Amino acid sequence: MAAVKETIDQVKGIDLDKYKYGFVTNIGSEKAPKGLNTDIVRYISAKKDEPEWMLEWRLDAYERWLTMEEPDWAKVNYPKIDFNDLYYYSEPKSDSDGPKSLDEVDPELLRTYEKLGIPIKEQAVLAGVQGARVAVDLVFDSVSVVTTFKAELAKAGVIFCPMSEAVREHPELIRKYLGSVVPKSDNFYAALNSAVFSDGSFVYIPPGVRCPMELSTYFRINEPNTGQFERTLIIADKGSFVSYLEGCTAPMRDENQLHAAVVELITHEDAEIKYSTVQNWYPGDSEGKGGIFNFVTKRGDCRGDNSKISWTQVETGSAITWKYPSCILRGDNSRGEFYSIAISNGRQQIDSGTKMIHLGKNTSSRIISKGISAGKSSNTYRGLVSAHRKATGARNFTQCDSLLIGDQCSAHTVPYIEANTPSAQFEHEATTSKISDDQLFYCTSRGLGEEEAVALIVNGFCKEVLQKLPMEFAVEAQSLVGISLEGSVG
Amino acid sequence: MNIHQNIDPNTTEAALAAAYAARRAALPGGVKLAEIRDEAMARFKTLGLPHRRIEAWHFTDLRRLLAEASALSGEAAAPQVADTGFADLKPARLVFAGGAFVAELSDIEGLGEGVEIAALSAGPLPEWALAQIAARRPAGDNAVFDLGLAMMSDGALIRVAAGCTPARPVEIISMSSGGGSVLRHVVEVGDGAKLRLAEHCSGEGAMTLTAMSIDLGDGARLDHVKVQDEGRSTAHLAPVVGLIGTRAVINSFTLTLGADLAREERHVRFDGDDGGGSISGAFLLSGKTHADTTLFIDHAKPGGQSREVFKGIVDDAARSVVQTSVVVAQHAQKTDARQGIHAMLLSDRAAHYSKPELEIYADDVQCAHGATVGELDENAMFYLMSRGISRTVAEAMLIEAFVFGAMDEIADDDLREAISAYALARLDQRQTHG
Amino acid sequence: MSSDFLNIENLVVEVAGKPIINGLNLTMAPGEVHAIMGPNGSGKSTLSYALAGRNGYEVTGGSVTFLGRDLTQMSPDERAAAGVFLAFQYPIEIPGVATMTFLKEAINAQRRARGLDDLPTPQFMRLVREKAKALKVSDDMLKRPLNVGFSGGEKKRNEILQMALLEPRLGVLDETDSGLDIDALKVVAEGVNSLRAADRSFLVITHYQRLLDHIVPDFVHVMAGGRIVRSGDKSLALELEREGYAEFETGMGQSAA
């Protein structure tokens, strides 16, 4: 993705306090009043022109959320969030009916995406990308702004549209699948999201279709004091395949911003979803001021036999990351994968990992997690591998490595391993180490600067995961690794 | 979150509180200890029995598992010392039956200079023991430890003065019966001193709670092995707190065989530079046994080396839980900690849960853990059988090879041999009955 | 033709529901050495596992009679006691089980099955040392856990050592030459040749002819598509060496020559 290349060029050379995406876009916005109550839920639903059943669903989620407690088991510390001091809905004002084509999009918004390095104009995409084409859905604060390549995707029968549109246009699919992987009351943040989600992406791949291009969503939080609650739902019907990319940025603000997304993936028989994320929300400054609170529930359901879900994530942003992309391996012979690079610097706190729930027969899963902590950050891998009593022949391999840079940071590994059938074979390995002085010396003696050397070594440490990213993302991710660690040595 | 404060005490909690009220006046230890007991009981009442929403008890919901236990009631049966497997070592012996020291069965003479050994109930509590009881406790809330602190009716007091080594190993034999027992052992090994300590727990009691605190001085060494071979109906709870000095070494190994419910807890703090050792164990579980081993290893100072290795088999409807948490403090550079948790499941109903946890705040460390769970290797079985070895024998060979890997963690040759022989005898029984 | 030594008739073996051996016929008399050659995937190793009784190699048709007994109804250890020995292509590593313990257990298990007493330890030790020496199996190897950390050649020599100690009636050698250099190959072949006897037969499975320069077979069979498609004397092996297996790789349905 040329966009990515541009992004890299743009962000090269910045340090932690100069987060490149930290600009604010000055466009008018229409906001719901601060706070959360049933009126706000109704307001959001009405804004989206939703049918009654969707409103009922939201209200039910809201009622459940009221009875729930914020989880406190993760290894993250943050001041108590006042959920009534947030805006739950913000929409760029310029075109309240929603843009019908790119020409109707506020040019200011387009300039924002140019700054972000995302060429949303299809021509730009075509011009910029050699060979590969990427359909992009842009979510700006609470609203999906534009989806590219729609027509071409429609030819293949692929539905790729904003969630709000899917609720109106494809109610049968939404009613069938929404909340079927992450139930409304799954956890505190999922319940909150279910009540107030504003937009997000919806993908449906029909049986036997290999999605003709990568699908991608860019998320951007712009407005202050605004929570972003997007909802993504991807369904891969029998024998289909899709690769989906997700990127996120936000402006630099002194206060914390809340992001509580839900992503649900469903694969039917013989289908495969490959979901890649480069999460680069504003992490706060080096003293821990500001930054995004990222509380995300991502879960995939391998519903059909021989289906596969693969999560790849590069987590470099956010002040707080609370995120466990998981796989429910329900179908026989289904497979789940989790490849993760989590880099924390400054005062960032990451508590992330995965769950592999083996239910079907002969299911397999693989977890490769690389955690890098620098600065005064805290980086936790938390994972669960479990085999149900009937999950005969379940297999898991987990490799979980932590790298510490400096003596002010910390790295933690908290794996839960639960075998309820003797034929399960689980293997878990974890190591913690630092970059050795010898490695650094070797690299610097060959002329590399210390930070370059660190970036090189860390990239080597992460190689297994970087290789799993789609090509277009891999380059961006590699430079992000270096950028995220700037200021961590010396 | 203090959810537990909002629930009514269950039958067992109420019974335990009532038992304390009834026995309080008769419990040994004098006024100061009585204060400690009262405070501990107050904490226990507030906390209640731990349940699965408390992280350290995630896999062992004690509140539920003990819901109906008639804890600590009933009569003690007449004691009879069984073969504990340590006789060849000619150890000094402290025998406890039903929570009380049995002098006639004990033998605590002839340990040589600098060795103090006594029963907690034997007379006024020595200052050193009181000080240790008052000061040593696991970090954070620990209802089970508090319960032990409140209700201990006896225990072993063992103190080895600086530079001394007892002439023979010391064995603590606990035989539980009737309602069970609550013991507290207090062990102090002075600077440069050495102690070999064997523990054997047997009998049938509703609940046996055996807590222990261990202080190792600078350069001290403790070789500790424990065999938990209690009866099926028993709930065995054993929290141990260890404070390890500079260059001191603790080697502690637990062989878990019995009890329907077992919880071995080890809180070990390496409190001086270059402390080290192994906190390890093996388990052979069958029946309905739920056996939980939970470790909190705290490398607080630089240069520490520790190993936590657990291996075992789980048969029938048994469940094994092994949680090993290793914390390396910010300044504890050059720490080297290795954990391994390996379980073999032998039945469709068997289950194994493990959580090897690392919490690292120092960068120049080498920490690693590995965990595996699986069944008997069919390829290895075929290979052995293709040479004419029967299925039963092949199984036994593979099980023995697997489990006995853990015995290498026992540094002391005599203790390793005793434990290995004990485990082997148990495996042979399995083969005969199996 | 049939024999009361080994008689395989119309054997069908399935692996994971797929037939790999499709109606194989083979008869062996005592004292004979038969070589089975064939392209990769022709079912050679499957035949060896089926004879030794490995789980997952299901006999769904035909019969295997060995010394008058139905081999297919016997467990692997019973087959071993009856005198079947498989030298594995990939010997299994078993950590924690000492090689000596294993050898002793195996010898005594078979002795017991034949109504003999256990071999006293000193005699056992002498026996192992003597046989090990001939096969250049070092004391150090015998002290290590079974096959753990053994090189490819050491593993194969250990297989032949076991065969020498267990004195089977039928030795099945599954690609024993694979991964061996010429010197190791000679040691192994000499070991096998020294075991040749009037009442002992060998089934030598190999892809290449070179092993048969050292262990000279009485009969050579070509296996393809799960059957024996051609049989001859040792000159057939040389012919295959010259001309390769191309003729057979498509010749799945050909009848035996």
Residue B9 has pLDDT above 80, yes or no: no
Residue A471 lies in a domain: no
Report the amino acid identity of residue B105.
Answer: L
Residue C256 lies in a domain: no
The chains found to touch C (3+ Cβ pairs under 8 angstroms) are B
Element (DSSP H or E) covering residue A319: none
For residues B345 and B402, is the Cβ–Cβ distance under 8 A?
Answer: no
Residue A462 has pLDDT above 50, yes or no: yes
- Is A73 an 8 Å CB contact of chain B? yes
Three-class DSSP category at C199: coil
Q: How far apart are the first and last CA of chain B?
A: 47
Tokens for C68?
């008058």
Task: Write down the pLDDT at residue B78.
Answer: 63
Going C17 to C21 to C23 to C26, the CA torsion angle's sign is: negative
Angle at C168 (CA atoms; ends C164, C172), nearest 5 degrees: 90
- Is B385 an 8 Å CB contact of chain C? yes
- Give residue A217's Cα distance to chain centre: 10
Q: How far apart are CA C124 and CA C128, in angstroms?
A: 6
pLDDT, mean of residues B23-39: 93
Residue A14 lies in a domain: no
> Other CB atoms closer than 10 Å to residue B197's CB: what's the count?
25
Element (DSSP H or E) covering residue A417: strand A410-419
Residue C257 lies in a domain: no
What is the percentage of chain A residues whose pLDDT exceeds 90? Answer: 42
Residue A165 has pLDDT above 60, yes or no: yes
Which residue would you say has higher pLDDT here, A155 or A138?
A: A155
Q: What residues in B contact A416, CB-CB < 8 Å?
A: 58, 353-355
Q: pLDDT under 70 in chain C at which residues?
A: 1-2, 249-257
Residue C254 lies in a domain: no
Residue A107 has pLDDT above 50, yes or no: yes
- Among C75, C85, C162, beta carbon nearest to B385: C75
- Is B407 an 8 Å CB contact of chain C? no
Mark yes or no for CB contact A429/B368 under 8 Å.
Answer: yes
What is each CA distance from C103 to C119, C125, C133, C165, in whole angstroms? 11, 10, 15, 8
- Give residue C12's Cα distance to chain centre: 19
Each residue's pLDDT tens digit, A255-287: 778 888 999 999 999 999 999 988 887 788 877
Mean pLDDT of all residues belonging to chain A: 81
Task: Write down the pLDDT at residue C11.
Answer: 96
Task: Write down the pLDDT at residue B70.
Answer: 56
- Is A416 an 8 Å CB contact of chain B? yes
Tokens for B375?
């069944």
Q: What residues in A contact B335, CB-CB < 8 Å?
A: none
Chain B to chain C Cβ contacts (< 8 Å): 80
Residue A463 lies in a domain: no
Residue A467 lies in a domain: no
Which residue would you say has higher pLDDT here, A224 or A445?
A: A445
Q: What residues in B contact C88, CB-CB < 8 Å?
A: 383, 386
- Among B355, B367, B371, beta carbon nearest to A432: B367
Element (DSSP H or E) covering residue C254: none
> Other CB atoms closer than 10 Å to residue A78's CB: what's the count?
13
Residue A420 lies in a domain: yes
Residue B204 Cα, gap to closest chain C Cα (Å) = 35
The chains found to touch B (3+ Cβ pairs under 8 angstroms) are A, C
How sure is the predictor about A9, in pLDDT bands with cuts at 50, 70 and 90?
A: very low
**Total structural domains within chain A:** 1
- Is B374 an 8 Å CB contact of chain C? no
* Chain A residue with the nearest C-alpha to that of B327: A412
For residues A195 and A67, is the Cβ–Cβ distance under 8 A?
Answer: no
Q: How far apart are CA A234 and CA A215, in angstroms?
A: 11
Nearest in space to C195 (alpha carbons), one of C155, C163, C162: C163
Residue A323 has pLDDT above 50, yes or no: yes
* Chain B residue with the nearest C-alpha to that of A390: B348
Residue A342 lies in a domain: yes
pLDDT, mean of residues A392-406: 94
pLDDT, mean of residues A294-299: 93
Task: Write down the pLDDT at residue B203.
Answer: 87
- What 8-state DSSP symbol labels residue A75? S
Q: Strand A272-279 and strand A308-315: pairing? A: parallel
Element (DSSP H or E) covering residue B217: none
Q: What is the CATH number of the domain that holds C105?
A: 3.40.50.300
Residue B424 Cα, gap to closest chain C Cα (Å) = 14
Mean pLDDT of all residues belonging to chain B: 92
pTM of the model: 0.86
Residue A423 has pLDDT above 90, yes or no: yes
Residue B302 Cα, gap to closest chain A Cα (Å) = 13
- Is B126 an 8 Å CB contact of chain C? no
**Total structural domains within chain C:** 1
- Among B377, B389, B401, beta carbon nearest to C77: B389
Q: Do chains A and C meet with 3 or more Cβ pairs nearer than 8 Å?
A: no
Going B277 to B282 to B288 to B289, the CA torsion angle's sign is: negative
Which residue would you say has higher pLDDT here, C42 or A449?
A: C42
**Numbered residues of chain C with Cβ closer than 8 Å to any chain B Cβ:** 52-55, 75-77, 79-81, 85-86, 88, 91-92, 94-97, 101-102, 105-106, 109-110, 113, 145, 162, 166
pLDDT, mean of residues B96-103: 92
Q: C197: domain range?
A: 6-249
For residues B330 and B361, is the Cβ–Cβ distance under 8 A?
Answer: yes
